[in-house]
């Protein structure tokens, strides 16, 4: 079975499109990415707003489909490990989306001086995560990825007293 059988050709094309847009736009801002869609698809249209609506629709349609997200994260990590990267970074980040403030706990792999996101969870609060939240996120990541032999770096605020079960 291939990806288009599992997720549909439209989803696979949009993931491919986003993968091409990231290095061109040098941002994850969909509004800025829209200006590069015509060049990637070789179908420039007079109104880039249509490209923006396409990107928004993709995220709206797939927002609750963790199977696609987890598959993408597994493939991403497998690719990065194949390149020899062995350092994980755990951190927190807060964003304002419209009027709503959200806080994510993220796990990344260090590629040179850039942290490439491989897993994240949205915390249901603003502010620092606690040890139980960090442990739950890391154990969920261990369930998806083979992280053996990798080194975990985190801020000193992430010190805990209880070890992981694996």
Q: Quick one: 57 and 31 in the same domain?
A: yes
Contact 91/118 with Cβ under 8 angstroms? no
* One-character DSSP codes across 35-71: HHHHHHHT---S-THHHHHHHHHHHHHHTT-HHHHHH
Q: Quick one: 72 and 153 in the same domain?
A: yes
pLDDT at position 49, please? 86
Total structural domains within the chain: 2
Contact 37/54 with Cβ under 8 angstroms? yes
What stretches in the chain show pLDDT beneath 70?
A: 1-5, 44-46, 63, 156-166
Gyration radius of the chain's alpha carbons: 18
166 part of a folded domain: no
* Rounded Cα–Cα distance for residues 35 and 38 (Å): 7
Domain holding 28, by residue range, is 3-64
* Rounded Cα–Cα distance for residues 147 and 140 (Å): 12
Look at residues 154, 139, 149, 89 and name the one whose alpha carbon lies nearest to residue 118: 89
Domain boundary pick from 64, 99, 117:
64
pLDDT at position 78, please? 74
pLDDT at position 1, please? 46
Q: What is the pTM of this model?
A: 0.60
Look at residues 116, 107, 119 and name the one whose alpha carbon lies nearest to residue 144: 119
Q: Quick one: 147 and 96 in the same domain?
A: yes
Domain boundary pick from 64, 80, 114:
64
Q: Quick one: 47 and 77 in the same domain?
A: no
Q: Quick one: 75 and 148 in the same domain?
A: yes
Q: Quick one: 47 and 128 in the same domain?
A: no
28 part of a folded domain: yes
User: pLDDT per residue over 4-30, tens digit each?
Assistant: 567 778 887 888 888 788 778 887 788
82 part of a folded domain: yes
Give the SS3 label for residue 157.
helix
* CATH code of the domain covering residue 145: 3.30.720
Domain boundary pick from 15, 49, 64:
64
pLDDT at position 104, please? 85
């Amino acid at each position: 079975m291939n990806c288009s059988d599992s997720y549909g050709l439209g989803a696979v094309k949009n993931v491919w499109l986003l993968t091409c847009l990231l290095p061109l736009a040098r941002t994850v801002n969909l509004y800025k990415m829209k200006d590069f869609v015509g060049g990637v698809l070789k179908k420039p249209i007079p109104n880039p707003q249509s490209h923006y609506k396409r990107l928004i629709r993709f995220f709206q349609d797939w927002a609750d489909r963790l199977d696609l997200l987890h598959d993408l994260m597994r493939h991403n990590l497998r690719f990065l490990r194949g390149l020899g990267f062995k350092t994980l970074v755990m951190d927190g980040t807060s964003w304002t989306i419209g009027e709503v403030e959200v806080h994510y706990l993220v796990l990344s792999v260090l590629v040179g001086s850039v942290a490439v996101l491989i897993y994240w969870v949205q915390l249901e609060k603003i502010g620092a995560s606690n040890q139980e939240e960090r442990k739950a996120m890391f154990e969920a990541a261990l369930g998806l990825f083979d992280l053996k032999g990798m080194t975990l770096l985190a801020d000193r605020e992430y010190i805990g007293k209880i070890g992981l079960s694996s």
